[in-house]
Amino acid sequence: MSYLDRGSVIDLHTHSDRSDGSEPPDVVVAQAARAGLDVVGLTDHDVISGWSEADRAGREHGVVVVPGIEISCNHHRISVHLLAYLPDGQDQALMEELARSRDSRDTRLRAMVDLLAADGYPVTYEEVLAVAGPEATLGRPHIADVLVRNGVYPRRDDAFVDVLASGSPYYVAYHVLDPVRMTELVVAAGGVPVLAHPFASSRGRTIDEGLVEQMALAGLAGLEVDHRDHGPEERDRAATLAERLGLLRTGSSDYHGTGKLNRLGENTTAPVVLEEILARATGSGLLGAV
């Protein structure tokens, strides 16, 4: 593969304003070029609407864009994020499931806003929609943005450790699939599933090895080992598990623009690993300057 060599810099997990990143897809790709990346994966939460814009920007800036999704899943009330690389964007079963999840996020967002407003927090559904933009997958980060704007907290992070935390009385769940079932759906759509930040305990409870084994049996291809939310012990644990189960090891920034401190390219994926992901994908082609 001519565009991939041993020195290629590859970051396979970023967000645009189609979910909870702060920049449009074309700006994320332009930033990727500026940061010296050769390959960038656009993986907005539960949505593929940024792919075509990222594609155009990739061609313009000479960056290969890997189309992906970070799919929200839930296992016994533990939140699990599944990265899906190069699935078929026309796959009906997968696209319907993502649409159902986005609808449920909308209902859930109204419920959370109602609970907060009833207790005097300055936030309305309309304000949250306005900060999120017309096409975004709605989530807690957008409520955080309104609370920051209205002076309740200095930064998104501060809202997440308080009223938006998963154990908070203002937290409301939304409909998503179990990660084993979602792994099967991604594989059926020709995509390559990689479990995002599996042991990131700062985000709440995490799953155990047994569930990862079940996901591996369902076709899981890799684990995101190198991620800011993993400390050295969590990286070791994930790397050991990946080796035992024969899974690929990826690393990425989980860039959210100004929404998080994560910087493009702060963790990267080896070119041989990307080659393997590309070889396994049968859903959609690569975007950008190939």
Smallest distance from ligand AMP to CB 251, Å: 17
Smallest distance from ligand AMP to CB 160, Å: 3
Nearer to Zn ion, 19 or 284 (CB): 19
**Local structure of residue 177 (DSSP, 8 states):** B
In DSSP terms, 224 is beta-bridged to: 250
Nearer to Zn ion, 21 or 58 (CB): 21
Torsions phi, psi of 22, nearest 5? -100, -10
DSSP code string of 157-174 = HHHHTTTTSTTSTT----
* Candidate ranges 50-58, 59-67, 111-119, 193-201; the one touching Fe ion (CB under 5 A): 193-201
Partner from Fe ion, ligand AMP, Zn ion, none contacting 160, C-beta within 5 to 8 A by type: ligand AMP
List the alpha helices (DSSP H) in 49-139.
51-61, 92-118, 125-132
CA distance 242 to 80: 17
Angle at which helices 179-188 and 92-118 cross, to 10°: 140
Nearer to ligand AMP, 45 or 228 (CB): 45
DSSP 3-state helix, strand, coil percentages of the chain (rounded to 5)? 40, 15, 40
Nearer to ligand AMP, 8 or 199 (CB): 199
HSE-up of residue 222 (Cα within 13 Å, Cβ side): 28
Smallest distance from ligand AMP to CB 204, Å: 9
Binding ligand AMP (rule: CB under 6 A), the pick from 13, 61, 140, 228 is 140
Tell how strand 78-85 and strand 192-195 pair up.
Answer: antiparallel
Smallest distance from Fe ion to CB 59, Å: 26
- Cβ atoms of 86 and 286 closer than 8 Å: yes
Query: What residues from 38 to 77 belong to the interface with ligand AMP (CB under 6 A)?
Result: 45, 72
Cβ burial, residue 85 (10 Å; 0-12/13-18/19+): buried
Binding ligand AMP (rule: CB under 6 A), the pick from 157, 162, 266, 276 is 157
55 binds Fe ion, rule: CB under 5 A = no
Q: How many residues bind Zn ion (CB under 5 A)?
A: 2
CA distance 22 to 10: 21
Smallest distance from Fe ion to CB 28, Å: 13
21 binds ligand AMP, rule: CB under 6 A = no
46 binds Zn ion, rule: CB under 5 A = no
223 binds Fe ion, rule: CB under 5 A = no
Partner from Fe ion, ligand AMP, Zn ion, none contacting 157, C-beta within 5 to 8 A by type: ligand AMP
Site residues, ligand AMP (CB under 6 A): 20, 45, 72, 139-141, 156-157, 160, 203, 260
